[in-house]
Structure 1
Amino acid sequence: MKNIIYLFAALFLVLVLSACNSGDEETSEENNEAAAEAEEESESSDSESNSEPAEGAEMPSEISFASASVGGFWHTLSGSMGDDLDTVFPESNTTIVEGGSISNMIGMNNGTYALGFANAPNVIEAYEGKGDFPEPVENVSLLATMYPNTLHIVVREDSDIETVEDLAGKKVSPGTKGYSAEITFQEVLDGYGMSYDDLGGIEYTGTSDAGDLLRDGHIDAIVSLLAAPVSTVQELDTTLGVRLIPLDQEVISSLSEKNPGYLEYTIEPGTYSNIEEEVQTIAAYTVLMASADVVSEEAAYEITKMTFENKDKYVSLSSVLEDYNEEYSVENATSEFHPGAVKYYEEQGIEIE
């Protein structure tokens, strides 16, 4: 009996296969399309993404996000934003690249990086082909103005340094050579009619390592251009005791006039627990930029939108982003917006001049 059943089953299978082979290609394609659509719907329902990019909002399979070295807030923030980019563009994978404001701008201009952070003064210099930019940068546009990085000149509490002029003959760490803090410090010195030749020595190193050098007495001052409060300065404030050196109003005004990317900034009492007086200094906005060669208008729209939709998560990383919103981004912009960003802001009722 089993043999008979097996025989009928075999005959039935042959007939089915024959019918499939003799069927028209159109019917077969329709079945394949239906299967593909079902598979896509299944994949879509299984996805953890809460948002989908608009049609045409595509990015390369590998997104290079130019940021900064591990330990700085740029690196922390870009890592979080990279996760969000992978959600918005599920066919892409975001890689965080360690860099600096100037190298980030150059890399975006030649299409090596899709996105990147920069400091506003460097962006202005890049557009004008000044400073470290031998030729004007033309392929990089603004997506968002995010938060201010503040210039800190830090000395030991028992130091005899009270003013910038007092740095003459002293050993200073201005940050990593060629990075924003180091360039800004040179501009500050120039405002006082000074240069590195007037100092007692230069130690090019990051803020964290510079903190160790200050504690050990190997240097007399640290210069950084980071969002306040700076963790290294906080630690030195509580364990060593430090002071912040203010800038003269005349120098602040001169720097802002020469480069509108700089703004007057006050480090308020309580920013650091043992520093009880206001400190007048300058700041430079961290801006999110995009390569025009890599990021389309549709993609730029989605990325700009993403940064505001995920603000609460970014604020949990640092309170420096508490003021970040669409109005803040546009009001404090010092460079030209990407067309996709313009589209997003105008949808929010904000006019771009």
Structure 2
Amino acid sequence: MRSKYLGVTILVVMLAVMVVPTTTYAETKFFAIATGGTAGTYYPLGGALAQALSSKIEDLEVTAQTGNASVANCNLINDHEIESAFVQNNVAYWAYTATGVFEGKEPIENLRAIASLYPEVFQLVATKSSGIKSFADLKGKRVSPGDRGSGTESDFRSMTKVLGMSYDDFGSVDYLSLGGAVERMKDGQVDFLIFTGGYPTSGIIDLGTSVDLTYISIPDEERAKIKEALPYVIELVIPAGTYPGQEEDVKTLSVVAQWVVDADVSDDLVYEITKALWEKGEVKKGSSKGQMKTGAEIMAEVHAKGKEVTLETALAGNAIPLHAGAEKYYKEIGVVK
């Protein structure tokens, strides 16, 4: 009899265990944003955006990663090695259509847009001792056109080609990140650098505090010639006083920074991150719990260019397809019909 009751007891215990509800945990999703070098504008803005998205979206961890900027970032998305990235609008267009610096390559057909962010300005800087005041003065000089695979280098190559110049005209060419070019100019090893990005740029501010610089304007005739050949650029002025020793406005040109994403990322996730970029919402986790801010507002707190990230210009300069998740959000709020 004892064995009989023992069997019944075991059966009851087993049934009880089976019906007790178990705690389930949602799987954490990971999402990365490829940015640029630490001395540029992409990196601090990407870091702020990553923090905002991680705080506002349940079960999502977002990281910002340094990178070689636009061209390299498009290639990362092509290879499905990163979920999203900051790139220039012209580079995104070239990548999607296999034109420009991507001519002769396979188009990056999985490239999609989430939002346009802010103008990316062509900033041309030379040491005063070099005597460089224009593109023509670069002949025979030591030039840093940007890092290999960067949008900056692509911009510089495109402009010099339009103006009838080539890299063979320069005394030397050093492919460097902004941080690397700044250090070389401090050491007197580089005469000129170009950087495409939002102003003020910390690396150029740093350089201007220790080296006498010339901030170069592009003459009216040359700007018109470049605009005619490169229709995605716009005119822009860097106001006097933006950088150390900058006494006059600098007339230059600009493209637009975009946030792009792999088409394979789920529609639901891209919808959520697009919404978090533009809408206030309860912070789900982190030290600032309960804070109500948009991703754009948080970007504005860490860098002056973040103040230019607005819903009104969310699609400015976009020349590639929107991700379906982003498009769904923009249709809901009437930005896309």
Distance between the aligned counterparts of 2:300 and 2:7, measured in 1? 61
Q: Deviations over 1:97-143 (max 9, x none)?
A: 43221121122123221111111110110121023420111111100
Alignment of structure 1 residues 262-341 onto 2, 5 Å:
262-293=233-264, 295-308=265-278, 309-341=294-326
Q: Tell me what 2:145 maps to.
A: 174
Q: 2:98 touches 2:106 (CA, 8 Å); kept in 1?
A: yes
**Normalized against structure 2, the TM-score is what?**
0.83
Q: 1:121 touches 1:260 (CA, 8 Å); kept in 2?
A: no
Q: 1:28 to 1:257 in 2, by over 3 A?
A: farther
Q: Deviations over 1:232-291 (max 9, x none)?
A: 222333332212112233433444444443222211112124212221111221111110
Distance between the aligned counterparts of 2:8 and 2:57, measured in 1? 44
Q: Tell me what 2:331 maps to.
A: 346
Q: Tell me what 1:72 maps to.
A: 40
Of residues 188, 191, 196, the one that matches 2:167 is: 196
Is the aligned partner of 1:108 residue 2:77?
A: yes
* Secondary structure in 1 matching 2:209: helix
Query: Shift of residue 167 of structure 1?
Result: 0.9
Q: 1:310 to 1:97 in 2, by over 3 A?
A: closer
Q: 1:240 to 1:347 in 2, by over 3 A?
A: same
Distance between the aligned counterparts of 1:243 and 1:211, measured in 2? 14
Q: 1:16 to 1:223 in 2, by over 3 A?
A: farther
Distance between the aligned counterparts of 1:184 and 1:20, measured in 2? 75
Is the aligned partner of 1:129 residue 2:73?
A: no
Q: 2:96 touches 2:109 (CA, 8 Å); kept in 1?
A: yes
Alignment of structure 1 residues 203-242 onto 2, 5 Å:
203-242=174-213
> AA paired with 1:299?
L
CA RMSD for the aligned pairs?
2.9
Q: Which has the larger radius of gyration?
A: 1
Number of aligned residue pairs: 317
Distance between the aligned counterparts of 2:6 and 2:231, measured in 1? 76
Q: Tell me what 2:54 maps to.
A: 86
> AA paired with 2:97?
E
> Percent identity at matched positions?
27
Is the aligned partner of 1:251 residue 2:222?
A: yes
| 5+ residue gaps, structure 1 | 1-10, 44-57
Q: Tell me what 2:291 maps to.
A: none
Distance between the aligned counterparts of 2:182 and 2:12, measured in 1? 79
Query: Shift of residue 168 of structure 1?
Result: 1.0
> AA paired with 2:70?
S
Distance between the aligned counterparts of 2:29 and 2:271, measured in 1? 18
Q: 2:37 touches 2:178 (CA, 8 Å); kept in 1?
A: no
Q: 1:16 to 1:271 in 2, by over 3 A?
A: farther
> AA paired with 1:115?
S
Query: Shift of residue 146 of structure 1?
Result: 0.7
Q: 1:331 to 1:322 in 2, by over 3 A?
A: same
Q: 1:326 touches 1:345 (CA, 8 Å); kept in 2?
A: no
* Secondary structure in 1 matching 2:100: coil
